[in-house]
Structure 1
Amino acid sequence: MPRPRTPLLDRRRIGAGALRVADEQGALSIPALARELGVAPSALYHHVSGREEIVALMREELTREAGPDDWDPSQPWEPSLEAWARSYRAAFAAHPGAVPLLATAPLAEPFMHAKYERVAALLLAAGFAAGQVMPLINALENFILGSALDLVAPPVMVSDVARETAPHLSAVLDGTPADHRRAELAFDTGLRALLTGFRALLPR
């Protein structure tokens, strides 16, 4: 039989398929990925060495979907870091099921190292000490990943509150949006608080 003009499988298809599986199932397995792509599990190993490389392909696909970084490291560090945080959150919010997997896998890919290099250079140029930079990045990432999951959480996360027994909570909930604005407001508030706190940590 003639060979198909378009290969059934390539590295980009594997990365995109793995993101779909993680989104739908909240986990990733080789058999599930093979079913998603319509191939035998053994076919995957013609293109990848194993699970770690598949996770790397997922990150690469996520980065491709997010597009180029749109923040300028020559600008002041606060607006630049805010722009990075917002783009990072938007990328993960598109694939919330993949967040636990990608967030717990070490970053071994050179293209990811290049992204972190820009952020590290930004913070060092701002005057932060070398020992502060990774804790600052990790703290911001932790917040971003949680915020990405919050975007796909129910609009109302605290419900059925009895006003008689929890009057203060009821009062603040009265002013809390009951739609997607709740997550947006929480992200904006938290990001501003983090950046304000980072500023206070700058060495004098």
Structure 2
Amino acid sequence: MARPRTPLLDRQRIVEAAMRLVDDSGDLTIPALAGTLRVSPSALYHHVAGRAEIVAMMRQELVRQIGDEHVWDLPWDQALAAWAHAYRDAFAAHPGIVRLLATAPLSEPFMHAIYERAVAVLEQAGFAPDQVMGVITALESFLLGSALDLAAPPVMVDAVTTETTPRLAAALAAVPADRGRADQAFEIGLRAMIAGYRELLGG
């Protein structure tokens, strides 16, 4: 029998299958991933060292989707805003991955390089060394929540009546429908955070 021209298993297939699995189940195990790929768990170890490396590969794939590293050439506030939009959209496309990546340590050199750029931009803008990681972490926490909100149902508060909660009913009626609700909340929150960072910098 002739050998296949393309390998049955490679790192790209593994990471794509892992992302689909986590999107569907919210978790990643080697047996489950092997089942998704219809191979034995031992076959995966010919290509990856283990679960931690697969998580790193998933993170690298999302970073690739986030895109242009030259965003950090912009002024700090524009850089944070541009990064926030790309970051949110990438994670919103894979909401199941949010919990997994948000709780996995950042041990990959490519992630260290990205954060090195971000820290340099913020320090050059005038943020104190003891403020920089707080600025980054607070923004990331907001972005991860916003990504989950984008994947949530358009209506998150239902069964509201004007008789019992008229102010809430009126506020909900003023909110855009469909994705517009999450987009509006994200833009308001992002503007507020960057305005707060400007005040922190000025102080």
Instruction: Name the TM-score class by shorter chain.
Output: over 0.9
- Counterpart Cα distance in 2 of 1:28 and 1:131: 35
User: For residues 198 and 57 of structure 1, do their structure 2 counterparts lie closer, same or farther at Cα, with a shift above 3 Å needed?
Assistant: same
Amino acid in structure 1 at the alignment position of 2:172: L
Displacement of 1:158 after TM fit? 0.7
Gaps of 5+ in 1: none
CA RMSD of aligned residues (A): 1.4
- Counterpart Cα distance in 2 of 1:43 and 1:75: 45
Amino acid in structure 2 at the alignment position of 1:154: P
Displacement of 1:75 after TM fit? 2.7
Equivalent in the alignment of 2:143: 144
- Counterpart Cα distance in 1 of 2:131 and 2:96: 31
Query: What percent of counterpart residues are identical?
Result: 62
Equivalent in the alignment of 1:123: 122
Equivalent in the alignment of 1:85: 84
Equivalent in the alignment of 1:192: 191
- Counterpart Cα distance in 2 of 1:93 and 1:4: 36
Displacement of 1:148 after TM fit? 0.6
Bigger share in helix: 2
- Counterpart Cα distance in 2 of 1:50 and 1:23: 19
- Counterpart Cα distance in 1 of 2:166 and 2:201: 40
User: For residues 187 and 70 of structure 1, do their structure 2 counterparts lie closer, same or farther at Cα, with a shift above 3 Å needed?
Assistant: farther
Gaps of 5+ in 2: none
Does the 8 Å CA contact 1:22/1:98 hold for their aligned counterparts?
Answer: yes
Displacement of 1:69 after TM fit? 2.9
- TM-score, normalised by the number of residues in structure 1: 0.94
Moved over 6 A (4+): none
Equivalent in the alignment of 1:113: 112
Displacement of 1:82 after TM fit? 0.3
Displacement of 1:117 after TM fit? 1.3
